[in-house]
Amino acid sequence: MISNYKHIIWDWNGTLFNDVEVCVSIVNSLLSKRNLPILSHEKYKDIFTFPVKDYYVTAGFDFEKESFEIIGKEWIDEYELRKHECGLSNSALPVLEKISSMNIEQSILSAYSQHTLVEVVEHCGVKKYFSHLVGLDNIYASSKVKLGKELMKKLELKNGEAILIGDTTHDFDVATEIGADCILLASGHQNRKNLERCGVPVFDSIKELLEKT
């Protein structure tokens, strides 16, 4: 499956980078601070979505009492303090290595801010596998569509020549908009039930990609 493509576009958070547990912990800390009910791991994966502002509302935050910008800044400040508690997803390294050995180029397209994306990818020791690292220019995790289109143009890729691998329905939406195929992983920030609505292959873990290359 992977060998049919010229370029693999990876999502980072929740796909290659295993940060789900830390994200659940942080949002629950913010909820508890406001005397709001906390989320189970299962509930988090059921309600997480993009734009993140919508997910915050579903989680219970009231933006009439406190702005999204304040809550979002508080979340990202705590994430920055704890990001090194996270690491690569299980089997991410052998998957990247195998794809690289097939002379297929790889890039990252992330809703993470650009400068922190580069820092964390370097910290994980995998920057060498990617021709491009593309993140947002702000901390509020909005859409990746514009950046994805720019990446496809820069790489001179046509429809069907790239596949985007991610862990959310937003990754599917991005893939559709930029003309890439898509695989989704249920090991990240959204559950299988939500991902299967997209109608593309859904794997339980990144390890399964080794069997599809």
> What is the β-pairing status of strands 181-185 and 202-203?
parallel
pLDDT tens by residue, 135-158: 987 544 456 888 999 999 999 998
Token pair 């890439």: residue: 180
pLDDT tens by residue, 42-79: 999 999 998 889 999 999 999 999 999 999 999 999 99
CA atoms within 13 A on the CB side of 141: 24
pTM: 0.94
Of 85, 113, 129, the position where a domain reaches its end is 85
Amino acid 2: pLDDT = 86
| Cα separation, 69 vs 67, whole angstroms | 5
Amino acid 138: pLDDT = 59
Are 200 and 98 part of one and the same domain? yes
- CATH (domain of 102): 3.40.50.1000
pLDDT tens by residue, 11-52: 999 999 999 999 999 999 999 999 999 999 999 999 999 888
Residue 179, by phi and psi: left (phi above 0), alpha (psi -120 to 50) or beta? left
Average pLDDT over residues 109-131: 94
Are 138 and 165 part of one and the same domain? yes
| Cα separation, 121 vs 204, whole angstroms | 23
Are 136 and 161 part of one and the same domain? yes
Are 105 and 121 part of one and the same domain? yes
Q: Which residues form the domain of 58?
A: 20-85
